[in-house]
Amino acid sequence: MAEIGIQLADGSFFPILSDRERTRKRLILSPAESGQPGARVAIIRRQGEAQRILGELVLEAPLSEDDAPLELFVGVDQEGLLTARLDGGPGRLQTMECSLDTEEPEGFPSAREKPESDKPGRDKSGRDKKKSPRFQPPLSPEDVEEDSHHPRPFHWTVLVAILLISLSLLALGAYGFMTFLGARIVPDLRAASAVVVLPAGIRFRWSRLFR
């Protein structure tokens, strides 16, 4: 089982969740240094001693202690899609996503490697390479919690239960309606019977007739 986490300012690994979890978590982050020109959060997948960078979230804006804390959301959905979002307030938002089920592309730098663009030297024309801007991670986690706003998966069993309840209510309503109509349409034979009083002589002749 691999762990998904971030790299702290001192280079250590901070786990957030496992790659088997299907949830989303929220972290509160603070700048490593006041007034740093920006922030870079590396999302790392680690298994044992091996670890790989899945992606990076970069904020190219100065950070100070007066700014609101950075919020990092990391989650994995039912299809194994990892999403990460770094929210530094209005106008400062970075997101990324990648599938944990797909094979990582060859040549993707590990968490311990530096990309070629950051290594000193000269390019093919003989000129000095310019070091790409890198930002110190703001990574001093103060809080890790389950994201209460994360939508829960809708299970098919819930849909079946709702369907069965709806059918039961429909059948009960139809039975009650038909019972009501039956009481109004079918005449009550006992109430419809009438007593006819005939003279004694006629009743006697009828009795003789039907013997």
pLDDT tens digit string along 147-181?
555 444 455 677 788 888 988 888 888 887 778 77
Task: Give yes or no for residue 58 having a pLDDT over 60.
Answer: yes
Residue length of the chain: 211
Kindly list the structural domains of the chain, giving each domain's residue range(s) and its CATH number in brackets, ordered by start: 3-153 (2.60.34.10), 157-209 (no CATH)
DSSP 141-204: --EEEE-TTSPPP--HHHHHHHHHHHHHHHHHHHHHHHHHHHHHHS--HHHH-------HHHHH
pLDDT tens sequence across 21-40: 889 999 888 777 777 787 88
pLDDT tens profile 72-102: 999 999 888 999 999 887 778 889 999 988 6
pLDDT of residue 173: 84
Q: Which pLDDT does position 13 carry in this prediction?
A: 87
Q: CA 177, CA 181: separation in Å to the nearest integer?
A: 6
**Residue 183 banded pLDDT, cuts 50, 70, 90:** low
Token look-up 């804390």 returns 69
Judged against a pLDDT cut of 60, whether residue 184 lies above it is answered with no
Q: Taking 90 as the threshold, does the pLDDT of residue 45 lie above it?
A: yes
Cα distances from 194 to residues 181, 187, 197, in angstroms, run: 25, 14, 10
Please compute, for residue 49, the number of CA atoms within 13 A of its CA located in the half-sphere on the CB side.
0
Q: Are 118 and 135 within 8 A, CB to CB?
A: no
Determine the longest span between alpha carbons in the chain, in angstroms. Answer: 141
**In the chain, what is the straight-line distance between the N-terminal and C-terminal CA atoms, in Å?**
98
Whether residue 187 is predicted with pLDDT greater than 90 in this model: the reply is no
Predicted pLDDT of residue 76: 92
How far apart CA 75 and CA 145 sit, in angstroms, is 12
pLDDT cut 70: percent of the chain above it: 58
DSSP code, position 103: P
- Average pLDDT on 192-196 reads 49
Find the radius of gyration of the CA atoms of the chain.
38
Is the pLDDT confidence value at 110 over 60? no
